[in-house]
A = this chain, B = another copy of it.
Amino acid sequence: MQPGFVTPDNIAMLTDLYELTMAASYHEHRPDDRATFDLFVRKLPPHRSYLVFAGLEQAMFYLMHLSFSPDAIRYLRAMRLFPSSFLSYLKTVRFRGDIDAMPEGTVFFPHEPVLRVTGNIIEAQIVETLLLNTINLQSLIATKASRVVDAAAGRSVVEFGLRRAQGTDAGLKGARAAYLAGCAGTSNVLAGQLFGIPIFGTMAHSFVQSFPSELEAFRAFAKTFPSGTTLLIDTYDDVDGAQHAAIVARELARHGHRLGGVRLDSGDLIAVSRLVRRILDAQKLRDVTILASGNLTEYRIQEIVRRRAPIDAFGVGTELSVSADAPSLDIVYKLSEVVCGGTSMPTLKLSAGKQTYPGRKQVYRLERGQQFVGDILALNHEPVAGHPLLKPVMRKGRLVGPLPSLSSIRRHAAAERMRLPFKLRRLDEASLYPVLISPGLRRTARECRRRLLTGVGEPVEP
């Protein structure tokens, strides 16, 4: 039986085989060269005008604990693929490189490095796959959550997606990313325990079904949780459900308790919420809230808000937790510079549709008042306007300082969203945010392309 848990002990092996074959070849031919890699998104997913950076904390843990266990080395040796000198090297390898990154919660755009790795070329290569996996997942979900939260226009959004998230890690880190981007909390208990995220939960239809009648189910639940509980009222019929909830609310009130809310999970949420609100209000239950769930998207929530349906909070599951309309980012990790024997060489690739920018880079953000107006992608120390977004996070494998708390990241993400040009926050139509390429970077790219196309052993451009 193989449960397949990813642990700090085996996570170094959660990588593509080619990272290790390349590493072995670097180890043979140029063990001391250094390299810089940029982690960035090539293009925006559909409907998106901006992205939210997330996952740095987990990525840094991975880098700080990277090591290959004796089991791992044994497995690799049995493949009869790798030179044994490389396997000896791998036994003791640690990540000792430098990381510069945007702070988590920062909004970013295509071609902007969100994380830059500089270090020994072998170390910088073998961490590629897991850095991509970690940043991809959390940035994807944070970006989606930002849209959903924006659509809710101040009403609460709770992440309910663990059951249909793509696996356990996506369930757990998705809750973190969703909270970071503005959700009020999650249904995920472990995310509550590990990350300190507020957790929410009501009841399922099965609970109601398991009792002879809905009213008995509500009474039983309210007896166990007399304060502030939420009843799910649409197992059989939502109007009857609202009436039963009202009965229980009055019974609770008689004992000094208060019903917290009711939840709707099916049907026409706008029409039904109005009906339910009227039933509750008629019974003087104005402070009993209505929570809606059931296949909600940012568009559906926007419509509900626009039509002023009396829904106080939204539970959003699958659509948020898999970023259903855009379930991956076009995220890549590209070599931008190699330093061999003290000589720095910027690099790029020319593959059809996959060109990259060479050299060690920085992203500068321009502001007018409180508003972001454009970014400049430039060489690292090129004197351009704006303030730099990539900050030192790690030097020689050690953190330069403590990472920010999740709640401060969450405040940063909220501030960032408010500073976006308003048209970038439209849900249906993507707008272009200006990302300019600096003169220095253009020049380096030109020179690099010329060198590649005329270099020794390389044919001239036809």
- Contact code string A437-462 (vs B, CB < 8 Å = 1, else 0): 00000000000000011011111000
A212 touches B456 (CB 8 A): yes
Tell me whether A13 and B168 are in contact in the complex, defined as CB-CB below 8 angstroms, given that A210-B121, A210-B338 are known contacts.
no
Known contacts A2-B194, A60-B1, A215-B457; A17 and B327 CB within 8 A of each other: no
Q: A224 — which chain B residues lie within 8 A by C-beta?
A: 21, 24-25, 28-29, 83
Residue-wise, chain A 1-45 has the 8 Å CB interface mask toward B (1 for contact) of: 111111110110111111111101110111001010100000000
One of B2, B21, B205 near A195 (C-beta < 8 A):
B2
**Bound CA–CA A200/B327 (angstroms):** 25
With contact pairs A5-B8, A35-B210 given, residues A237 and B18 touching in the complex (Cβ less than 8 Å):
no
A410 sits at the interface (CB 8 A): no
Collect the chain B residues with CB atoms within 8 Å of residue A18's CB. Answer: 187, 201-204
Does A99 sit at the interface, judged by CB under 8 A? no
User: A37-B206, A457-B215, A459-B237 are contacts. A129–B162 as well, Cβ < 8 Å?
Assistant: yes
Q: Are B189 and A1 interface neighbours, CB within 8 A?
A: no
Which of B35, B220, B237, B331 is the one whose CB lies under 8 Å from A164? B331
Chain B residues within an 8 Å CB radius of A116: none
Q: Is the CB of A168 within 8 A of B25?
A: no
Interchain CB contact under 8 A, B83 and A28? no
Would B166 and A4 count as touching, CB distance under 8 A? no
Give bound CA distance, A163 to B207, whole Å.
Answer: 40
Residues of B within 8 A of A169 (CB): 4, 6, 166-170
- The answer to whether residues A170 and B166 also contact, given A190-B14, A352-B267 and a CB cut-off of 8 A, is yes
Query: A8-B3, A17-B201 known; A167 and B162 CB under 8 Å?
Result: no
A274-313 CB contacts (< 8 Å) to partner B: none
Q: Is A168 touching B331 in the complex (CB atoms < 8 A)?
A: no
CA distance A29 to B204 in the complex (A): 16
Smallest beta-carbon distance A204→chain B, Å: 6
Cβ of A348 < 8 Å from any Cβ of B? yes
Contact B75 A14 (CB under 8 A): no
A57 at the interface (CB under 8 A from B): yes
Does chain B have a CB within 8 A of A225?
yes
Q: How far is the CB of A17 from chain B (nearest CB, A)?
A: 3
Question: Which residue of the partner chain B has the closest CB to A323?
Answer: B327
* Contact pick for A25, options B15, B170, B225, CB 8 Å: B225
Q: Which residue of B lies closest to A59 (CB)?
A: B3
Bound complex: CA A422 to CA B206 (Å): 38
> Please, which residues of chain B bring their CB within 8 A of the CB of A121?
210
Instruction: Kindly report which residue of chain B lies nearest to residue A57, judged by CB atoms.
Output: B1
Q: Sample 8 A-B pairs with CB under 8 A, ordered by A number.
A: A14-B190, A22-B206, A25-B221, A79-B199, A209-B349, A236-B349, A237-B459, A322-B327
Given contacts A166-B174, A236-B452, 14 further A-B contacts (CB under 8 A): A3-B65, A11-B168, A16-B189, A25-B207, A25-B225, A71-B193, A121-B210, A129-B162, A136-B166, A209-B338, A212-B457, A215-B457, A235-B350, A266-B354
> 9 closest A-B pairs (Cβ-Cβ)?
A17-B201, A167-B169, A206-B335, A18-B201, A166-B166, A213-B457, A167-B170, A169-B169, A3-B61
Which residues of A does B touch, CB under 8 Å? 1-8, 10-11, 13-22, 24-26, 28-30, 33, 35, 37, 57-58, 60-62, 65, 71-72, 75-76, 79, 81, 83, 121, 125, 128-130, 132-134, 136-137, 140, 160, 162-174, 176, 187-190, 192-195, 199-210, 212-216, 220-221, 223-225, 234-237, 240, 265-267, 318, 322-324, 327-329, 331, 333-335, 338, 345, 347-354, 403, 452-453, 455-459
